Amino acid sequence: MFFRDQGEMLPPRTAPITEVGLVGWLRINLFSSYGNAALTLISLAILLLVVPPFIDWVLIKAQFSGDSGEACSGIGACWAWVDQRLGQFFYGFYPAEAHWRVNVTAILLVPAILYVLVDNMPGAKFGRWFSYVYPLLAAYLLVGGFGLEVIQTDKFGGFMLNMVVGLTGIVLSLPIGVLLALGRQSRLPVIRLLCIAFIEAVRGVPLITLLFVAIVLLQLFLPPEVSLDQLLRVIIMVTLFASAYMAEVVRGGLQAIPKGQIEGAQAVGLGYWQTMRLIVLPQALRISIPGIVNTFIGLFKDTTLVIIIGLFDLLGHARLLQTNPDWIGDVDHEAYLFSAAVFFLVCFLMSRYSVSLEKQLSKDRH
Amino acid sequence: MAAPPRTRIQQISYLWTDERLRGIAFQLLVTTSLALFFAFIIWNTATNLKHAGLASGYGFLQDAASFDINQRLIDYDSTSSYGRAFLVGGLNTVLVAVLGIAAATFIGFLVGLMRLSSNFLVSRIAAIYVELTRNIPLLLQIIFWWVIILALPRVRDSISVGDVLFLNNRGVRMPQPIFEDAFQFVLALIVAGGIGTFFLARWARKRHELTGRTFPVGWSSIGLIFGLPGLSMLFLGLPISLEIPLQGKFNFEGGFNVTPELIALWLALSLYTGAFISEVVRSGILAVDKGQIEAARAVGLPPGLRTRKIILPQALRVIIPPLTNQYLNLTKNSSLAVVIGYQDIVSIGETVLNQSGQALEVISIYMAFYLTLSLLTSLLMNWYNKRTALVRER
């Protein structure tokens, strides 16, 4: 008989070993063809060439204790400076006995951000107000006054300076950016023209030129008796810079709102500002959050530019360490590596958050 | 029922409900307050300048600069004018921008394709590179590369690459091509080949549309641009030679030196922007509808043609606008050169500012320079968008 009985079924066979399990995964993902196998081997070779020596240098052969560059062996990384300098890297020259103020500000930042970004937080109604008040609270804690010892802003430095400039810039630029974005869409020709001119002019020049404006020109523009704090001047220019980018992000959100929403609002008799405030902006800003986070990441990285105008942020203190007689020539790479790791950690986490938010938004829409 | 006649007060209050009138009033208000604001600034500036005893105006550009610039593309010495110094700086910005754009595009396309690779390791390595470079401030990366180059051995112990290229803490010593007069003829041939290719491609496209017959434009253009000039070079007895640097005791003889600053800036800018471009490329390719590729396969297009005729034209339409944006970012970011002392327009402007005190003028030159670049780019962009839009309609 060369045919099988109709009722008889073959027992299921296990999948071939080349298709499932570890071997299958390897075959599909790494060795699916000769070309792919070659690529895999080349990649492995590169990894082997780079990763083990790097780990060896950073950790295994590294020197972790010592008081000066003399303790550094030269064959591995030298982390001996970290325990001395960690405070400066994070707080700059902010007085040590007042570090708690920075810490409290940083800790309070967490709920302030959560209440803005996450829905359904317990106590949301109170929390929103806390978020709105937080910037004032932070300014009070950091600068002082009203019972707290006043600390001049030129003592601000290290990573804290990056956070202060970046966060203030982004928070202040949001309302300006929204207005600019609305103005760019406006039916009034003069308003539209002015907004486009501002946005394109700011986006067309590098941040560094605006920082130069902050340092050498802003004082020229004001009456001689007005003297602005240097940090304040930097924050003004950073805010103007960020608001142009913010405007473009918000414009993207505005354009995504279907026209029917605006027509619906007009049909029930809402005016322009009511339509925007109650109908359009809540939806548009929601869509724009990933873009806003990305703008913040960009701005946050750009805060390192303050070293060009003589402020000492995290990167500034890394550079300062190079010129310190105790450490000169011994820790050229380590301090930068450390700063890079800090920035990477913060920016990477934020970009992951922005990506997950984008996924969530596109899921909600379908 | 006729409406009762309006009183005068009612008429005036109705004016406020007229949207057009309200708009005009609002715009007038904004314009006036802006004008007042600028008048305030200008008045303050004028008083402050008078107070400081500074003359405003661009006359200072003719004064002698009396500082040196090591990195220059055109003739310059310390007796040259400030204006000339700015020109040198602007050209240096353009130099590093062009070099960076070329390298970043290459890296971006390579890494973008690597991330889409079915090979797990390859796509992972590409992803790690992208995340690492994107999430670390560019300024830090520039300084980092600069420190690494400065840590290279001294000139005496240069690392030699095949005895033609030498790496040391003063940069890279490269062989210098020396062109003889006859090379101009070759150059002319190359240009002629380029123009010829342009017309050939137009003719071939027209014939393809009319008759369906194809013409090997790619091969013939290689022949026109490289083949003919190459042959003529052989006949002219190789009118080009390389001057290979010779290692002396303290410095090299011959060849030309690329400064550590240029290399560090170029490396950092290309690696940083390359990561962003790779994301642009990746999303551009992913944006091509899968059905397009399947349809191309169904009508029997081989893989090469599928990429060239179906995927790339559609992906490029998505890729090009954000790509030009990245080019612009790279150019603007090159201003960070001032930190490591690469003499671009910002760094030279800073020196000029410190010497002459003409802050307003120097910063206006910066802004004019960068704004011109952005404006040119966006004009180009609009032209491109219009062109692709036309193609879409056909």
d(CA B366, CA A80): 43
CATH top-level class of A156-365 = mainly alpha
Selected residue with higher pLDDT from B71 and A100 = A100
- pLDDT tier at A219 (50, 70, 90 boundaries)? confident
A51 to chain B, any CB pair closer than 8 A? The answer is no
Q: Domain B82-160+259-393 falls in which CATH fold?
A: MetI-like fold (1.10.3720)
Q: Residue B190 has what DSSP assignment?
A: H
Which helix (H) or strand (E) segment holds residue B259: the answer is none
DSSP reduced 3-state for B235: helix
Helices (H) and strands (E) in chain A, counts: 15, 0
d(CA B206, CA B126): 41
pLDDT of residue B71: 76
Mutate to test the interface with B, among A22, A25, A27, A43 (most CBs of B within 10 A): A43
pLDDT of residue B3: 61
- pLDDT tier at A124 (50, 70, 90 boundaries)? confident
B366 to chain A, any CB pair closer than 8 A? The answer is yes
pLDDT of residue B250: 67
Q: Decide if B232 contacts B190 (C-beta within 8 A).
A: no
For A332-358, how does the pLDDT look when each residue is reduced to its tens digit (9 = 90+)? Answer: 788 889 899 999 999 999 999 888 888
pLDDT of residue A195: 93
| Model confidence, pTM | 0.86
Show which of residues 82-141 on chain B sit within 8 Å of chain A, judged by CB atoms.
Answer: 117-122, 125, 131-132, 134-141
Mutate to test the interface with B, among A57, A161, A179, A220 (most CBs of B within 10 A): A220
pLDDT of residue B370: 93
A30 to chain B, any CB pair closer than 8 A? The answer is yes
Which helix (H) or strand (E) segment holds residue A75: the answer is none
Look at phi and psi of residue A324 and say left if phi exceeds 0, alpha if psi is from -120 to 50, else beta. Answer: beta
| Whether residue A323 has pLDDT greater than 70 | yes
> Token digits for B196?
């010829």
Q: How far from B281 is each of A352, B110, B114, B273, B277, CA to CA, in Å?
A: 20, 9, 11, 12, 6
> Token digits for B22?
């309200």
pLDDT in tens, chain B (394 residues): 456 666 666 666 666 677 788 888 888 999 999 999 999 988 888 888 888 777 777 878 888 877 888 777 787 887 788 888 899 899 999 999 999 999 999 999 999 989 988 888 889 999 999 999 999 999 999 999 998 888 888 877 778 777 777 888 788 887 777 777 777 788 888 888 888 888 888 888 888 888 888 778 778 888 888 888 788 777 777 777 777 777 766 677 777 788 889 999 999 999 999 999 999 999 999 988 889 989 999 999 888 888 888 888 888 888 888 898 899 999 999 999 888 988 889 999 988 888 888 888 899 999 999 999 888 888 888 888 777 765 544 4
Residues 6+ positions from A350 with CB-CB distance below 8 Å: A293, A296, A297, A300
d(CA A96, CA A103): 11
Residue matched to tokens 């080019």 = B327
In chain A, which residues have their Cβ closer than 8 Å to the Cβ of B118?
29, 32, 36
pLDDT of residue A1: 54
Which chain B residue's Cα is nearest to A347?
A: B135
Which chain B residue's Cα is nearest to A319?
A: B143
For A234-277, how does the pLDDT look when each residue is reduced to its tens digit (9 = 90+)? Answer: 999 999 999 999 999 999 889 888 889 989 998 998 888 889 88
Amino acid code (one letter) for B353: L
For A8-34, how does the pLDDT look when each residue is reduced to its tens digit (9 = 90+)? Answer: 778 888 887 777 778 888 887 778 778
d(CA B154, CA B251): 10
| Percentage, residues of chain A above pLDDT 90 | 27
pLDDT of residue B394: 40
Q: Cβ contact (<8 Å) for A205 and B367?
A: yes
Look at phi and psi of residue B357 and say left if phi exceeds 0, alpha if psi is from -120 to 50, else beta. Answer: left
Which sequence spans correspond to the domains of chain A?
91-151, 156-365
Please tell me which of the candidates A40, A205, A213 has its beta carbon nearest to residue B370. A205
Please tell me which of the candidates B120, B132, B371 has its beta carbon nearest to residue A205. B371
Which sequence spans correspond to the domains of chain B?
82-160+259-393
Which chain A residue's Cα is nearest to B363?
A: A209
d(CA A235, CA B220): 58
pLDDT of residue B393: 44
B51 to chain A, any CB pair closer than 8 A? The answer is yes
Q: Inter-axis angle of helices A99-117 and A124-143, to 10 degrees? A: 150
> Token digits for A197?
């001119």
A27 to chain B, any CB pair closer than 8 A? The answer is no
Q: SS3 breakdown of chain B: % helix, strand, coil, rounded to 5?
A: 70, 5, 20
Q: Decide if B193 contacts B201 (C-beta within 8 A).
A: no
Look at phi and psi of residue B117 and say left if phi exceeds 0, alpha if psi is from -120 to 50, else beta. Answer: beta
